[in-house]
Amino acid sequence: VLLALMLSSQTKDQVTSAAMLRLRRRGLTVDSVLQMDEESLGQIIYPVGFWRNKVKYIKQTTAILKEKYGGDIPSTVEELVQLPGVGPKMAHLAMHIAWDSVAGIAVDTHVHRISNRLQWVKKETKSPEQTRVALEQWLPRDLWKEINWLLVGFGQQTCLPVNPRCSQCLNQDICPAAKRL
* Nearest CA among 6, 51, 58 for reference residue 29: 58
Residue 87 near residue 47 (C-beta atoms within 8 A): no
- Tell me the C-alpha distance between 59 and 83, whole Å: 11
- Tell me the C-alpha distance between 89 and 92, whole Å: 5
DSSP label at 127? S
* Nearest CA among 99, 142, 111, 109 for reference residue 2: 99
Which residue numbers are catalytic? 89
Chain-centroid distance of CA 97 in Å reads 11
